[in-house]
Amino acid sequence: MLKSFISFVLLLALNPMFANAGTNTKPLKVGMELQYPPFEMSTKDGTPSGISVDLAKALGKYLGRKVIIQNIAWDGLIPSLKTKKIDIIISSMTITDKRKKVIDFSIPYAQSDLAILTNPTSGVKSVKDLNQKGKVVAVKKGTTGNIYAIEHLKKAKLLILDKESSAVLEVIQKRADAFIYDQLTIYRDWKNHKNTTVALLKPITKKPGYWGIALRQNEPELKAKINAFIKKAKSDGTFDRLAYKYLKDIKKTFIKLNIPFFF
């Protein structure tokens, strides 16, 4: 019993040593939450697909490493990166100062803004109406919406939920006055519940949020390679091809609504 325990502890302690032996040939583990179509989603048989998945594969090709996609819940992504369960995060993650304290980001590859989903009876017309006593704002835990609400909506009551679907339900059932998330999600949620919700798609922040590929701090070599890859993908039309493949209809809507597009 004791012997097996000691060997178990030794195995745990030595594990990273073995893992670090061959750095370049080992597969690139990419973490993402497959709950944000069409960026991160899975097909009916469960294989990951979407823009971020294609992007990860293109990055793997560029680096000459095999890519393993790992589906991890949103608020587990950064801890997984920190504990070396994954190597990078490509999950439509916005670069924020708070996140920069614990992880590193590549140069931005896309942009997105926050928007508001509200219900017809709440009387919310803009984000100013939300920063008031008695207003209830739903957010998804750990998202930019959550960070924004804590910093800018101090008077409102926050409802922090695990799932986007719960947040939408709270708004529909009028338990929350608004749900703050990115424009694409808000637009899609509104489309699914046209009678019970109102989408305010005008950006609520002055500057858009920029998405980056997240990696651990102090890995300049990998960071330089990823940055070079993003620059190349921007110039050789990789992003345009992905946008055409996945976002054709959404792009039209965004242009019609005068919302800046992702790429």
Q: Which residues bind other proteins (CB under 8 A)?
A: 9, 11-16, 75-76, 78-79, 82-84, 98-99, 102-103, 141-142, 146-147, 150, 159-163, 166, 169, 173, 175
Nearest residue (CB) to other proteins, 122 versus 238: 122
Identity of the residue, 61 or 100, whose beta carbon is nearer to other proteins in the bound complex:
100
Return the number of the residue (69 or 161) whose C-beta is nearest other proteins: 161
Smallest separation, CB 259 to other proteins (Å): 27
The least CB distance from residue 93 to other proteins, in Å, is 12
Q: How far is the CB of 254 from other proteins (least distance, A)?
A: 29
Smallest gap from residue 95 Cβ to other proteins (A):
14
Q: Are 56 and 30 in contact (CB under 8 A)?
A: yes
Interacting residues of 168 by C-beta distance below 8 A, sequence separation 6+: 117, 179, 189, 192, 193, 197
* Shorter beta-carbon distance to other proteins: residue 82 or 155: 82
Burial code (b: 16+ CB inside 10 Å, e: under 16) for 223-252 equals: beebbebbeebbeeebbeebbeebbeebee
- The whole-angstrom separation of Cα 47 and Cα 30 is 14
H-type alpha helices, 141-203: 144-152, 164-172, 183-192
| Contact of 131 with 156, CB cutoff 8 Å | yes
Rounded to whole angstroms, the maximal C-alpha distance in the chain is 68
Q: Which is nearer to other proteins, 111 or 166 (CB)?
A: 166
Smallest gap from Cβ 44 to other proteins, in A, equals 23
